[in-house]
Amino acid sequence: MATSLSNVFLKGIAARSLSRPLNGLFYCTRYSNTVSNDSDTHDDFKPGNKLEGSGICLSNVIEQDVKDNPVMVYMKGVPDFPQCGFSSLAVRVLKHYDVPISARNILEDPELKNAVKAFSNWPTFPQIFIKGEFIGGSDIILNMQQTGELKEKLKDITSKQ
Amino acid sequence: MSSRGATAVLSRASRIRSKLQTALEATVLEVDDVSYQHAGHAAVKGSSDKETHFNLNIVSPKFEGQSLVKRHRLIYDLLADELQSGLHALSIVAKTPHETNPSK
């Protein structure tokens, strides 16, 4: 049942990313006061500037993505069809572990791409979040696999399946 | 001679090397241009700048006590201008001198 639900959700995420899900879904004034303080977010990874026009709403979307999905990847392409060697590498590493991978294709939405960069203060893709924590890009996730750190971090996600 | 040198346009590889060496005082600094491996990469089609992908191998005492994320972030911050002017991707290996000679 849990696996089935995860698969449905994963398909939903992937399908939505292919149809520009954020287009027209959000509208907000330039200086929205909607600012959420996520105490779980390490200071290093908190968005530096929350008053960036439409970026403010995307920032909230990203916060929700990262919170709701134990493994969240912002990548070029989607897990079944990566469009960049680095995004492909990151997904291949994660697929070694039996965990649901949620992803958004940043090639489909330049505003999402810029919002994710601002959110994590990290300039390149893929960007990987595990249980709400920013992990890094493909170099770091590969290194963590080699040291065994990744297995440790994903351990309790696997056990919930 | 000096004036000719002063007017030469530095390649991206040279600029990267110079910025990193100045800030990190690296004992090892390898800057490899692997752009040819990514020729035709969708995200860089149409880019007139050919120096888009680099592998970096850096050994520096400045990384002492820093997590991998912090080390990579430090390097990205130093190269922010390059990333905004055509540099597409970096593969980074960042270690302290101790990590390259664990027996010492």
Is residue A112's pLDDT more than 60?
A: yes
- Report how far apart, in Å, the C-alpha atoms of B67 and of each of A120, B35, B84 are: 16, 28, 25
Exposed, middle or buried, B88 (CB in 10 Å: 0-12/13-18/19+)? Answer: buried
Shortest CA distance from B37: residue in chain A:
A85
Residue B44 belongs to some domain of the structure: no
Spans of chain B, pLDDT less than 70:
1-9, 39-50, 101-104
Instruction: Give the integer Cα–Cα distance in Å for B70 and A102.
Output: 25
Overall domain count for chain A: 1
State what percent of residues in chain B have pLDDT above 70: 76
- Whether residue A15 is contained in a domain is answered as no
Judging by beta carbons within 10 Å of its beta carbon (0-12, 13-18, 19+), is residue B95 exposed, middle or buried?
middle
Best to test chain A binding among B68, B76, B78, B93 (most A CBs inside 10 Å): B68
* pLDDT (mean) for A37-44: 52
Interchain CB distance below 8 Å, B38 and A85: yes
- State the total domains in chain B: 1
- Which CATH number does the domain housing residue B60 bear? 3.30.300.90
Q: Is the pLDDT of residue A73 over 50?
A: yes
Q: Tell whether A125 is covered by a domain.
A: yes
pLDDT digits 0-9 by tens, B65-82: 989 898 998 999 999 989
The reported pLDDT for the residue numbered A124 is 92
Decide if pLDDT at A1 tops 50. no
Is A89 a member of any domain?
Answer: yes
Q: Is residue A49 part of a domain?
A: no
B89 lies in which domain range? 12-39+51-99
Range of the domain at A134: 58-159
Could you tell me if residue A131 is inside a domain?
yes
* Per-residue confidence (pLDDT) for residue A34, from 0 to 100: 42
Residue with tokens 């080390």: B71
CATH code of A88's domain: 3.40.30.10
Number of residue pairs across A and B with CB atoms under 8 Å? 42
